[in-house]
Amino acid sequence: MKRATIFSPCYKLSRTILSRFYKDYESVILLGHTLLKNLGPLEHLITSFKIPGHLETSLHHLKFPSPLILAAFEGDNEIVRLWTQFGLGGATLKTILRDPRPGNPRPRIKRIWTSEGEGLINAMGLPGKGLSHTLSHLNELLQFPASKPIGFSIGGQSMDEYEYNILQLIKTLKAHPQWAIRPYFIEINISCPNTPDGQDMQAHPELLTHLLRNLKLQYPDIIMGPKVSPDLSNDSLLILAEIVATFPLTFITLGNAKFQKCQEIGLPQNALSIGGGGLTGPSLFNRTLEMTTLIAPLKIPIIATGGVSSAKQVQELQTAGATLIGMATAVVQNPYCIPEILATLEEPKCTAHHSPE
Ligand SMILES: Cc1cc2nc3c(=O)[nH]c(=O)nc-3n(C[C@H](O)[C@H](O)[C@H](O)COP(=O)(O)O)c2cc1C
């Protein structure tokens, strides 16, 4: 892990320098991706870190070598693979919708500083190549280590689309000889702050019951669960979690970006093309911890996601009842935070959750 303490400040410095040259932070991120993908023979030295054996964590029958996983946000599979090498136990891919989408116009991602530290606000609007593209590129994902489960995050513009996307994906995975034996799970993104219809199931929980019932009737063995917003009231959150708890082999991902208008956080209205977006990073942590504490008594496995960047925070969430920890912003800012966290992380004290099976 000593390599991480050397590379980490270099990485942060290069980010700061690039940010001076490029006004649009998306360009800085993309340039970083290009550099990372072209490390050639240095790739292993620069991006590959061992995970201490005592950190293995289970989500039902899925085994994750480390409790840290990539939250759904990156659409470039090669970058997800490289980040995973830094010591993540698995990775959730960016939300997939049926049709290709360009997302919102640029600028659509900005760095912001709050009293808790540096975060991001994004109005990406779920750009993506669509379900057919994902299904025809499943072989690419087989380059990921087989020991690290992959999460497929699925979105929808309507209830029919959610069901269609998930069923098509599962059918294709089950028919694929290699995927039939690879570990994976399905995260249902019901909390995207950047699409108009992405939150219907949060407002009408009976829709979630209906969807889970239909899916579980056909595929009771597939591990799946919704990803909910930090903006939900505690009462609404409890209702959704109670629904999830009635189905076998489910989980709940607690935390997504928190919608804010640019002006509410001191940015000019045109800092993002649609005047607002999803706030992510350190300012979310307290709510992530609060949600985890609230839901833990229901004994559903929790993927706590939002604002995590240190071993202390990981341990607080595990003690509160989280099984896995999702990370996004901290990884974009500096993926060396992953080996740094792992180096000081103790064996999880509280992971023995179950749902009715
Ligand atoms: C640029 C960006 C894009 C994102 N895209 C998605 C997405 O496609 N699906 C999703 O469920 N969450 C998405 N998220 C939310 C993250 O998965 C995560 O829930 C959120 O960033 C909070 O975690 P963090 O504080 O560690 O960043 C996105 C976040 C960022 C920063």
Query: What would the pLDDT profile of 103-114 be if each residue is shown by its tens digit?
Result: 999 999 999 999
75: left (phi over 0), alpha (psi -120 to 50) or beta: alpha
Enter the pTM of the model: 0.96
Cα–Cα distance measured from residue 108 to residue 104, given in angstroms and rounded to the nearest whole number: 7
pLDDT of residue 352: 45
Ligand 1 touching residue 250 (CB < 6 A): no
| Residue 97 near ligand 1, beta carbon < 6 Å | no
Ligand 1 binding pocket includes 71 (Cβ within 6 Å): yes
pLDDT of 197 strictly over 80? no
Ligand 1 centroid–CA 61 distance in Å is 26
- Give the distance (Å) from ligand 1 centre to CA of residue 177: 31
Domain boundary assignment for the chain: 2-344
- Residue 71 CA, closest ligand 1 atom number: 17
| Closest atom, ligand 1, to C-alpha of 255 | 19
Strand order in the sheet with 117-122: 109-114, 117-122, 276-280, 258-261
Mean pLDDT to the nearest integer, 237-264: 97
Among 304, 313, 299, 333, which Cα is nearest to 60's?
299
For ligand 1, whether the C-beta of 241 sits within 6 Å is no
Within 10 angstroms of residue 11's Cβ, the number of other Cβ atoms is 18
Q: What is the mean pLDDT of residues 83-94?
A: 98
Encoded tokens for 300: 């559903």
Give the homologous superfamily in CATH for domain 2-344: Aldolase class I (3.20.20.70)
- How confident is residue 355, by pLDDT bands cut at 50, 70 and 90? very low
Q: What does the block give as tokens for 275?
A: 């005047």
Is 80 exceeded by the pLDDT of residue 122? yes
